[in-house]
Structure formats: C-alpha cells, structure tokens
Amino acid sequence: MAERSYDFLMPSVNFFGPGVISKIGERAKMLGMKKPVVVTDKFLEGLKDGAVEQTLTSLKAAGVDYIIYNGVEPNPKIRNIQEVKKLYEESGADSIITVGGGSAHDTGKGAGIILTNGDDITKLAGIETLDNALPPLIAVNTTAGTGSELTRHAVITNEETHLKFVVVSWRNIPLVSFNDPSLMLDVPKGLTAATGMDAFVQAIEPYVSVDHNPITDSQCIEAIKLIETSLREAVANGHNLEARTKMVEAEMLAGMAFNNANLGYVHAMAHQLGGQYDAPHGVCCALLLPYVEQYNIIADPERFAELAEIMGENTEGLSTRDAAELSIKAMKQMSQDVGIPKSIKEIGAKPEDFELMAENALKDGNAFSNPRKGTKEDIIKIFQAAYDAE
Ligand code: NAD
C-alpha cells in the first residue's frame, strides 16, 4: 500500500432520526446561542408544521430569541450572504441557524465567512483560506442531498460574473447539524430526484478521486448501495419513511466522503451550468455524470469495474473494461428511472458558452481531484456529449 497521510474531517455532532428537530432549542441554548439569525427561504418559512415552524417552536420553548432571514435563493448569490450579514449586525444576533437544503446552509456559511474573514468572499475562494472561526452555526437539513450540513464547503454564485465558486475550509463545518427524515416526507418528486442524484454523484466522484482512501471508500460504497435501494422508492413514494431515512444516511456518508476525498469534473462542470443558467445543482450533476465518467474510465478501469458491481450489475466473466462500461450504463439507468432530463439542452445550455465554461471548470476547486487530467478541449467535448445526448 502506498504511503499516505491526510486530515480526516467529520461533522462534530449530527442529530439523526424522525423527530430529532424538537431538540434544536435545547441544543442552541447549550451552545450559548442567545439570538440566532434563522436563514431560510419564503417557501420553507410558510410550510405548515415544516422544518422552519418546528425549529421556531423548539427555540421558543427553550427561551431562545431569533430573527428570520427568508431571502435564500437557489444557487445562493453574494447578495444573499451580504443581506444576512447586514441583518446579523443590525439585529445584534450572535449566531446562525440554517434551515433548508444546500442553498440555505451555504448562505449561512457564506454570511459567517464574511462576518469574520473580510467582506470580499471572492478573494476567499479556494481551499483552507479562512483564518478566523465563523459565528456558531447549526444546520437543519431538509434535502437528501448536498451534505452541506456537515461539509467544509460553501458554494456561492457571483451574480455579476455568473461564476459559481467554492470556499473550502474546516472552519465552515457547522457545529451541530440535524437530519430529520420526517422533514423530507413532502419533498416533491423532482426535487427528491435532483437532490438524490447529487448524493449519488457525491458518492461516485470521491470513489474514483485521486484523493480517495480506505475510509472514504467504505463511505462511498455504503452510500451507493443505500441510494441504489432507496432513491427510486423515495421518488415513487415520497411518504416511505424507510426510503427517506436511507437517503439521509446515504447523503451523510457521501458528504463525509467528499469532505475528505474531494470530487471531480462532474462538480467542476456542474458549477458552470449552475452559475451560467441558474439550473438546479443536482440536475446539472446528473446530466454530466455518465459523460464525465465515460471520459474518466481509462484512468482507472478497475475502480469503475468495482463501481459496476457496487451498483448491482452482473460483471461475472467480463473483462475489466467491459465491467467498467457497465457502471456508465447503471448511472444512466438511475437518472432515467428517477426522471432526470436527458440533455443539458433542456436546462438552457448553449454550445457557444462551452469554451468559457470549460476554462472556468478547470479552475474550479473540484477539478484537481479528478482521476484523469483534461485539457480545455476535452472538457468542451464532454459538455458537447452531454448536449447531444438523446
Ligand atoms: P436547495 O437548497 O437549492 O433547495 C431547492 C428548493 O427546494 C428550494 O426552493 C427549497 O425551498 C425547496 N426545499 C428544500 N427543502 C424542502 C422540503 N423539505 N420540502 C419541500 N421543498 C423543499 O437545493 P439543494 O439541492 O439542497 O442545494 C443545492 C445547492 O447546494 C447548490 O447551490 C449546490 O451548489 C450546493 N451544494 C453545496 C454543497 C456543500 O457541501 N456546501 C454540496 C453540494 C451542493
């Protein structure tokens, strides 16, 4: 085995299971929170007995004051984190509670970053760029999902340049997170599919990443198996608590895996589609996945052959290369089964944008762990293949 050394990041505390949300008030109090900004969006704020309402009920019961920011946008923008910072300072808040999916968590993390590390977040893009701790942050997760409730990543979109960038730092990891699958029972089919495919990609990319290790491998394998046995069911029957629970376990495992083994070109390229066309992140990832991994196969066919087996394909008697190809077939099948569109055309992608998006994808923080090193022309070809897909 090759010599290696690495830091291994884990979430500090995650409360897991149906009903755990009722504990949030008491936990906030234990952390010394006196007045958190609750960062969410208008839709979640208005949901009867939803995650926001249950969070506020628990905070009130524990005697914790709060103020609400309900302006989170999908693919959160710099303006969102500046608005949260302003509200935090003007209201005398002392902490942050994010309620929602990746967009709410990243908005809260982004605001925390600029509250303590300087106002211009674009200068902090990259890996381990933060000198100062963020204000105390609790993440209440409502999608399965990005893993953002426990990762060191904050993904923000610059609304002027349409560039989505990542600030990656151990200081971004929420102090406490809540993953209550009962909060996900009413997630609509399309959102279940998109967020579930994001978790699927986040289990596959670290498995083939140049930074993988035996700990992240085991997390990826279990996450993929859980997704194989529960995502289709969660989409078909959203009220199946068992399927929702397995999807939350899967997204947490995938989050821990990519926190440590990083991602690859799927995410580097998906950030370009998300930034340019404001398209849902999970859909962007799912649309690119088979075309990026088809490109990657020659870098490590054995790992792709293993992936095929993990995904339940019968590889008996096949050559390594043929078995590896089956993993691509399984990825396409999963997307098709959960109703993801076929081509990036359907989210508004235009071939004239591919050159600039390819240049930017190669600079994205996720590109460096991809198993095959590509040129700009290679990335353009992958965008084109995902565009021509029928
Ligand atoms: P999201 O947070 O953008 O939410 C999408 C929509 O779903 C919103 O309109 C929201 O109101 C709604 N929603 C959320 N929970 C719901 C519920 N329980 N029921 C009904 N509707 C609900 O979606 P997401 O996929 O979780 O997050 C995507 C963002 O996260 C992207 O910007 C992506 O780049 C980022 N991301 C971050 C990380 C990280 O580690 N920081 C990792 C992957 C992706």
Q: For residue 360, is it left (φ>0), alpha (ψ between -120 and 50) or beta?
A: alpha
For the chain, the average pLDDT equals 96
Q: Which two tokens stand for residue 312?
A: 């339940």
What would the pLDDT profile of 285-328 be if each residue is shown by its tens digit? Answer: 999 999 999 999 999 999 999 999 999 999 999 999 999 999 99
As for the ipTM of the complex, it is 0.99
- Band (pLDDT 50/70/90 cuts) for residue 2 is low
Residue-by-residue DSSP string for 354-365: HHHHHHHHHHST
DSSP 242-303: HHHHHHHHHHHHHHHHHHHH---HHHHHHHHHHHHH---HHHHHHHHHHHHHHHHGGG-HHH
> Tens digits of per-residue pLDDT, 316-325?
999 999 999 9
**Contact (CB, 8 A) for 169 and 152:** yes
Three-class SS of 2-68: CCCCCCCCCCCEEEECCCHHHHHHHHHHHCCCCCEEEECEHHHHHCCCCHHHHHHHHHHHCCCCCEE
Residue nearest (by alpha carbon) to ligand 1 atom 21? 187
> What is the Å distance from ligand 1's center to 343 Cα?
21
Of 40, 47, 53, 106, best ligand 1 pocket probe by most atoms within 8 Å of the beta carbon: 106
Question: What pLDDT sits at residue 217?
Answer: 98
Alpha-carbon radius of gyration of the chain: 20
Q: What does the chain come to in residues?
A: 390
CA of 1 to the centre of ligand 1 (A): 38
State how far the Cα of 260 lies from the Cα of 246, in Å rounded to an integer.
22
User: Measured in angstroms, how far is the CA atom of residue 191 from the centroid of ligand 1?
Assistant: 9
pTM: predicted TM-score of the whole model, two decimal places: 0.97
Cβ of residue 293 lying under 6 Å from some atom of ligand 1: no
Say if residue 1's pLDDT is above 70. no
- Arithmetic mean of pLDDT, 161-178: 95
State yes or no: pLDDT of 147 exceeds 90. Answer: yes
At 204-238, the pLDDT tens digits run 999 999 999 999 999 999 999 999 999 999 999 99
Closest atom, ligand 1, to C-alpha of 75 = 32
**Residue whose CA is at the smallest distance from ligand 1 atom 32:** 75
pLDDT digits (tens, 9 = 90+) for 88-127: 999 999 999 999 999 999 999 999 999 999 999 999 999 9
Alpha-carbon 350 to chain mean position: 25
